[in-house]
Amino acid sequence: MRGLDGAARVDAVCRLSQALLHNNQLEEAVRTVEAEAARHEPGPVRLRLQAVQYMWEGLYAGETGSPDRSERLAALAAGCTGRDNSERALLILRGFDAMTRGENAEEVVEVCDRALVNGRLAPGLGWTDPEWGIELLLMLAGAYAYSDRLDRAEALYAEGLRAYESAGWSGGHLALAHAYVGLGQRRRGRLREAETSLRESLRLAERVGRGLPLYWTASCNLVDTLLARGHVGEAWEVAERYGFAPPYPSTIVIPDPRSVRGRLLLAVGRTKEGVNELEAAEKAAAVRGHHNPVMVPWAADLAHALATEDPARAARLAADVRRQAERFGTDTAIGEALRCAAALETGQRAVRLAAQAVTYLEASPCQYEHAAARVEYGILSRSVAELDRGLTLARSCGADGLVAQARQVLESGRGLR
């Protein structure tokens, strides 16, 4: 538009790029903001545009435009103290990028904390503030959620939902808020509540438009939650009804949709297709450098699927998961890696690994995974007490499949003590 210049032009470019992102036109969103950044000299305006560009690139599911993006982002954020919102945005982007790459979780949390002011969002970075938008805050909360700081993630998700409901927003922002509240509940192990939130998110997302990135977030998390509940038939029905299948959107979805669909295919007995999907998840993760084994959990499921036909490859995958989990360092990641290792072993070695998994997951905020580890340890150790504890946890989570598994073993009574 003629006469559009200065701050108004920069705001317009940022809003346009955001609209392109939500319309699944991410490459064009990146080009739009990159071209505007090139028009400005180094300073606060250019830093803001660079942060927006890094944000959209960080959400791109395909091959990243520049292989050294993470290194450049780390270098740029290293000089940031959080003195203004552009610097705070870069710190959030650095924390999120480090989380997806599976870098040390304590450092992820430390970087994200530096983006806050007295533990809260800075003025101008609120959920309804126009300058930065919802994506940055979801990246901040996601970095916390997958770094075992669910307390901070859930507080942010709840704050976002309240903000949109109070403001009367009823479109894509509210749909995403419900989806991420559901993600937090799923991570916490409150599976019934997660299912309710995610079904509401899908209801709202349908009004905005099928196939858009926010639609994928809701459907992926609902399928993941239903699988955790043991409702495999419902998970398949949701996937069929809502088109949870390739081709995938141009933006990344948390958790990784290929990993979740691969797990779904295995659960319904379509093993070959499931293996193919998990191998596709492996390739996509390698391209993006996404090595967080909790956010992109393809390897553990692939190891289980290959345990009989290719035990050597399954063992290598389990070893890789454990190495990545120990690098990331959260109780959840290490506990899940130990569960994977235990499932591939027999005898006392399997019992020892399962016991270690219980120890780590008991300290994790993810109670569904803790319940699953308890049940598995109870079965391997033939312990009635451990099975009872796992059964109680599974019931509290709403994990009906896990409840049924524990009950069946307890009622059979064979070899238990």
pLDDT tens digits, one per residue of 274-285? 999 999 999 999
Question: What phi-psi label fits residue 270: left (phi over 0), alpha (psi between -120 and 50 degrees) or beta?
Answer: beta
Which amino acid would we find at residue 90? L
Pair of tokens at residue 251: 């933006």
Mean pLDDT of 168-197: 96
Q: Which residues contact residue 178 at a Cβ distance below 8 angstroms, ignoring those fewer than 6 apart?
A: 161, 197, 198, 200, 201, 204, 218
Q: In the chain, pLDDT over 70 holds for what percent of residues?
A: 98
CA Rg value for the chain: 22
What is the reported pLDDT for 68?
Answer: 84
- Span 244-267, pLDDT tens digits: 999 998 888 999 999 999 999 999
Lowest mean pLDDT of 78-92, 103-117, 297-311, name the range. Answer: 78-92
Helices (H), 146-256: 150-167, 172-188, 191-208, 213-229, 232-242
Q: Residue 417: exposed, middle, or buried by beta-carbon count in 10 A (0-12, 13-18, 19+)? A: exposed
- pLDDT value at 358 more than 80: yes
Higher pLDDT, 123 or 64: 123
- pLDDT value at 67 more than 80: no
State phi, psi for 29 to the nearest 5 degrees: -60, -45
What is the rounded CA–CA span in Å between residue 340 and residue 98?
A: 24
Confidence band, pLDDT 50/70/90 cuts, at residue 47: confident
DSSP string spanning 256-317?
-HHHHHHHHHHHTT-HHHHHHHHHHHHHHHHHHT---TTTSTHHHHHHHHHTTT-HHHHHHH
Lowest mean pLDDT of 131-140, 207-216, 264-273, 343-352, name the range. Answer: 207-216
What is the reported pLDDT for 43?
Answer: 85
What is the rounded CA–CA span in Å between residue 153 and residue 147?
A: 10
- pLDDT value at 149 more than 90: yes
What is the rounded CA–CA span in Å between residue 66 and residue 48?
A: 19
Q: What is the pTM of this model?
A: 0.93
Pair of tokens at residue 369: 């995974």
Mean pLDDT of 298-325: 98
What is the reported pLDDT for 131?
Answer: 84
**Top CATH class, 170-244:** mainly alpha
- pLDDT value at 65 more than 60: no
Find the angle CA(256)-CA(303)-CA(402) to the nearest 5 degrees.
Answer: 75
Mean pLDDT of 90-109: 96
Pair of tokens at residue 119: 């533990």
What is the reported pLDDT for 410?
Answer: 94
What is the rounded CA–CA span in Å between residue 16 and residue 8?
A: 12
Pair of tokens at residue 35: 């071209």
What is the reported pLDDT for 7?
Answer: 87
Lowest mean pLDDT of 139-148, 159-168, 248-257, 341-350, name the range. Answer: 248-257
Lowest mean pLDDT of 56-65, 187-196, 257-266, name the range. Answer: 56-65
What is the reported pLDDT for 255?
Answer: 95
- pLDDT value at 109 more than 90: yes
Pair of tokens at residue 332: 């959840």
Please name every residue paired with 251 in a beta bridge, in sequence order, or none if there are none. Answer: 60
- For residues 345 and 376, the answer to whether their CB atoms sit within 8 Å is no
Omega cis (within 30) before 42: no
